[in-house]
Amino acid sequence: MTIELEYSSSLNGASFLLFELKQVIKLKQFGLSKQEIRQKVKEENLFQFNNQGRINRALPSVMKRAEAIDETLAALMLEGSIETGKVLNLYAIIKTDLLFYEFMDEVIGEKLHNNDYLIEKKDINLFFTSKSEQSEKIAGWSDTNIEKLKRAYMQVLYESGILRTRKGKELNRLIIDEQIKNHLTQIGDACYVRAMGE
């Protein structure tokens, strides 16, 4: 399934959200429509957020990520280990966020393929500077927005297990289950496996 993407800074309001994605996938498996899922999440506060504003910011991204998870991956995500859940959540984020995909592919994946396990501020700054030069849309984003996005990216790296410590610079290679790798390759998504450093 191909998703048409354009550059977005939505990761600011919806970083890792693994628990939330699992809630939505469960509801999808019960056969609820997108509209019913949105309603249920909001009315029953299934994300357990303190305010409605946060739900409204996170929900569109979580719904989009749930669309990227097919039935095979959904079963693995709900029945597999926490590590499997993290890998599949990262895949869903990469697949639904073009800029983050490019960051993973051009910066993180590249480093891991070269056995370079250090991510530094300059690497992230260089990535965003280069993207600003290539895209008018990104060039138009405020410095505050870009700084928040850099933090959101690092948070996703940390929560997925790629960044060893929250404030650290050391990268970790994810262990991606063969079943996941094979399935993603079969459905034409090998580029996302590569972006995760495999």
> For residue 146, what are its two tokens?
């870009």
67 neighbors 3 (Cβ within 8 angstroms) = yes
Burial class from Cβ neighbours inside 10 Å (0-12, 13-18, 19+) for residue 63 reads middle
Give the separation between CA 25 and CA 11, rounded to whole angstroms.
19
DSSP per residue, 92-142 = HHHHH-HHHHHHIIIIIIHHHHTT--B--HHHHHHHHHHHHHH-HHHHTS-
Q: Which pLDDT tens digit goes with each residue over 44-93?
A: 999 999 888 899 999 999 999 999 999 999 999 999 999 999 999 999 99
**Pairwise CA distance, residues 22 & 18, whole Å:** 6
pLDDT at 165: 94
- What confidence score (pLDDT) does residue 36 get? 97
Among residues 192, 188, 193, the alpha carbon closest in space to that of 2 is found at 188
Q: What is the pLDDT of residue 118?
A: 98
The CA distances from residue 168 to 81, 116, 155, 161, 162, in Å, are 25, 15, 11, 12, 11
Tokens encoding 191: 């580029």
Q: Which domains are assigned to the chain?
A: 13-68 (no CATH), 81-198 (1.10.3540.10)
pLDDT at 102: 98
Nearby residues of 13 by Cβ (< 8 Å), 6 or more positions away: 54, 57, 58, 61
